[in-house]
Structure 1
């Protein structure tokens, strides 16, 4: 597994864990940086991803809500929400990652970690985010 792919998975796990535990993502991130819970500390790109999502949280959620066509954030699976937030940040604010790669990586995450319908949903929503990203920055 490529380094950035692993980092995306770790970032998704952190976002998911924070939501499930009802704790602040930023606080959880700082705790994990200060005292890693595994032998391997969080990859630098995972930290960049989480911090990027945190910096643009409200815009990301507003964008996902606007373009999800009938799906509220609360109705989405938690793993899908996390993958969509990461993918949206990469598409809109990270010029080093091509949109197609960000979309494919988010889809791959939900293929292994979410429902059977999730890949199509995530792919469609992130494709729309890619189309409108110029209006978001």
Structure 2
């Protein structure tokens, strides 16, 4: 029984990474995320990974709530505009904020630490601290 959560975390991290790939591509190409997702799914080999459903849920959820999510980023990113943020950070923040606000089964601390860990692997040296700060402030706001 103790193995369950350990097995879930890597799958969810992979799902977040896939969601990041699609959202990043959509951002860079100025295309709707759901349109980029459709192309991404066509290119995926069978059998599709088990975590794909969660990744699709993240992408569709971010796309459906992007105006609200971006508004929160603008409000809480002290000294940064959405356009000035590295694209990886911007999209990691979008995924984490979607999880904070709309995915009840994910603890806030998990959503934040996953975004910070992916930033550590994929973005600038300053990104983990930046994301931890903004996401912590948004999590505080969301629990009020």
TM (norm. structure 2) is: 0.87
Structure 2: distance between partners of 1:2 and 1:109:
12
* Partner residue, 2:102: 93
2:17 maps to 1:9: yes
Residues matched between the structures, number: 134
Unaligned 5+ runs, structure 1? none
Structure 2: distance between partners of 1:71 and 1:117:
13
- Greater C-alpha Rg: 2
How far is 1:39 from its partner?
5.3
Contact conserved, 2:22 with 2:40, CA < 8 A, in 1? no
Contact conserved, 2:89 with 2:127, CA < 8 A, in 1? yes
Structure 1: distance between partners of 2:54 and 2:112:
17
Structure 2: distance between partners of 1:89 and 1:101:
13
* Partner residue, 1:67: 76
Structure 2: distance between partners of 1:11 and 1:40:
18
2:43 maps to 1:36: yes
Q: Relative to 1, partners in 2 of residues 1:41 and 1:32: Cα closer, same or farther, differing over 3 Å?
A: farther
How far is 1:20 from its partner?
1.7
TM (norm. structure 1) is: 0.91
